[in-house]
Chains A and B, each alone.
Chain A
């Protein structure tokens, strides 16, 4: 029976030959990832209260990222809970302050194609870039997984997003996903698995593929996934992962696809989403000239090494507009170190960027990148709901790292291609 990659992974996790969309099955979990927000201090404590030990500590990964930089009592308590809970139960896959969970998870060599994983965060589908099926769950659901190693799943239909051609210079994975948010809305793929295919997708490096799967959450999807290929293998191998099965974890040619959306990659323009939803996306020209106070490059989806390089390409030799706050928080320590070593951070700092330590921070309105009252910002993050990145009076636009960097230079929403002349191509 022909199946999609998602169906194959669910069937394996459920211990059956095949599954059908709509069917409810119980899956064995290959990996459960928790962060400091919903993890040890919440799900872990609930498990302890039940008097049950975790089902398999070798399959649990804890990564602190939400509150690492804050010094209030509640934040400190959540950090302490993570340290103590992992020590008490012997969880050795514990990454403390190394970066944002969705980025540290693959960096730590914890993912490979064909795994069925759950994460205590809605952006857990990020792992799908590696051919992993990963869904976001809440704290109590996580308690159930920690106790039993199992979870019930309604098998999702597959929505295929096929991006043809080659993206123009200055157009990125962020523009693909924002275009989709604008076209089908933030519930446009409700309960579905979004599978990204096509030459423009497979030409992307892993950093950019992760943007597509990360923001499957902004389509209301259960997950996002990209079948593994040579790029996947090369990246995973460099991270110390071995025994990578590429051939098994592909969708069969005649598998049932509920809906296919085709995007003309070559015609795609940079996208910017207006306040206060990712689905308010439109070509950058629609919003060009909107005056801004802050430009932020950060979060799991928007401050990977490729994003920092994009920003550096735009601002190299130029200066941030007077009065603009240009803030950058790399997605992980590893990325920060690589960007420093290759000179990318220096270019950004020389242009006037403020570099923050890694963490979720500004994306959820915490720390120095929180938008002030009445401020208007643009960021490379994934959500711009009212009250998320700042107070109710603030407004947030979303765009690629190119678009955010261009806005930092002009103080207004700007087509980044204005700063990407032929001579600037690295």
Chain B
């Protein structure tokens, strides 16, 4: 998987699925729902996030529901990689399944809002070009990296089911 370069959107601990994907918009389309991402926490996020940006959080990112819209809203709005000190397990799996690489990174406190980051999901490295620093993340398990790199579980299934068929 190639480099992802973009601005950092930084948040603290415990950003939960109700903040990322508020309950009233779960039955809506991705297009209708995504603009409400984080509206109860940071109303500036959804209108200003751009293609290629990187979501950065502290502990317990995505805690709560199994709703796939939580990472899907982020992806739809342009987020291309997620860094956090720790992830809730379903959110982590949902991100991988959507082809949105989630990286466990202990140094997210060092990253400032809108710092320019260059993320290498395969190597698990993050270069903060604004600050001139490099962070090392836990690598994504090998059995999953291939699935993420091919664009997520649906793309992977299409490939493997075709091969099998």
Q: Which residues of A contact B (CB under 8 A)?
A: 24, 37-38, 42, 46, 50, 52, 66-67, 70, 72, 74-75, 78, 120-122, 124, 136-141, 143-144, 147-148, 152, 186-187, 190-191, 220, 222, 277, 364-366, 383, 385-388, 392
Contacts and interface: CB of A to CB of B under 8 A. Distances in A.
Contacts, number: 112
Given A24-B141, A122-B90, A387-B19, 16 more contacts: A38-B67, A42-B68, A66-B26, A120-B66, A122-B64, A124-B66, A136-B90, A138-B67, A140-B94, A140-B154, A187-B63, A187-B88, A190-B86, A220-B89, A277-B14, A386-B41
Contact of A50 (B27, B41, B98, B154): B154
7 contacts: A52-B161, A66-B27, A138-B90, A139-B68, A187-B60, A365-B23, A386-B19
B67 A37 contact: yes
A191 B89 CA distance: 6
Interface of B: 14, 16-19, 22-24, 26-29, 40-41, 59-60, 63-68, 86, 88-90, 93-94, 97-98, 141, 143, 152-154, 157-158, 161
Contacts of A139: 68
B141 A186 contact: no
A74 B90 CA distance: 25
Nearest to A385: B18
Main secondary structure, interface of A, reads: loop
Nearest to B36: A387
Given A52-B161, A121-B66, A186-B60, A74 B154 contact: no
Contact of B98 (A38, A74, A137, A140): A140
A104 to B, nearest CB: 17
Given A138-B97, A386-B41, A222 B89 contact: yes
Contacts of B66: 38, 120-122, 124, 136-138
Contacts of A190: 60, 86, 88-89
Nearest to B142: A24
Contacts of A220: 60, 63, 88-89
A186 B67 contact: no
A385 B39 CA distance: 14
Contacts of A387: 18-19, 22-23, 40
Nearest to A78: B27
A144 B153 CA distance: 7
B28 to A, nearest CB: 6
Contacts of B65: 121-122
Given A138-B97, A140-B94, A141-B97, A386 B27 contact: no
B138 to A, nearest CB: 13
Given A190-B88, A386-B19, A137 B93 contact: yes
B40 A392 contact: yes
Contacts of A75: 27
